[in-house]
Structure 1
Amino acid sequence: MGKANWILHSALKIAELDFGSNTTMLNLRHAIAELPGMPGWAGDFDMLLVISEQSSLDTFTPEAMRAHQTFMRTWNERYRKGHAPKTALVCASDLKRIIPELWAAMTREGWKTKIRVFTNREEALAWLADDQA
């Protein structure tokens, strides 16, 4: 993944990242680690992660997800501001959606960030915009 291809939607306070075919759990972590240094990003931004059809998710094993969970818990506490920041995961593939659904389940209790999984970007954006969600 190298330098992450984050898109910052400043007016919406959303940082968006599309998973490409070469997205691994490790380079996803690197991409998230880059976010606080990006010009225009602020701790009150929500996150929108889009898992494309080209994404393989082969490295998204339960063990790798537990390691990512440890990283994300610390990262969220340090960099995400506000009462309940949100992360929307978009995955159109029924088969691939098992991975983000597992991630959402792993982070349900005792987690600062609200995480939900969607089948399309429009639903995810609507949820991120809803202050009551």
Structure 2
Amino acid sequence: MIGIIAAALLVLIAGLLALWWARASRRGTLPQNWIFGYRTPLTLRDKNAWVTVNRASARFAIIAGVGAGIAGLVAIILALVGIEDISSVLLGSGLGWLLIWTLLGVIPAHRAARMYKQTLSSS
């Protein structure tokens, strides 16, 4: 049971980190870094590109974070009441959800980067 709860806490924390990432991206306050955000040569050298691209993907990070956070929280509750088998499945699903929605965020991020480059070249 302790192992399941520890894993569920990690999934919950990952969901909360995704929500922090989404909030900072939406506000334009996510600092350029090598961990969170969509990193390309363009976004790492141009602060405005960084803000534009990460803001475009924020909605997907919100979906990723909420899903993972709920999965982690419910898994903790289920483990505490003795339903560890379902907790394990839920944790795998929560991590899959987090991964899929984070990766899907590449689509609007790529579109925003392409539009940003077009704006730069037309100026």
Q: TM-score, normalised by structure 2?
A: 0.28
The higher radius of gyration belongs to 2
Q: TM-score, normalised by structure 1?
A: 0.26
User: Which structure ranks higher in relative contact order (CA pairs < 8 Å, sequence separation ≥ 6)?
Assistant: 2
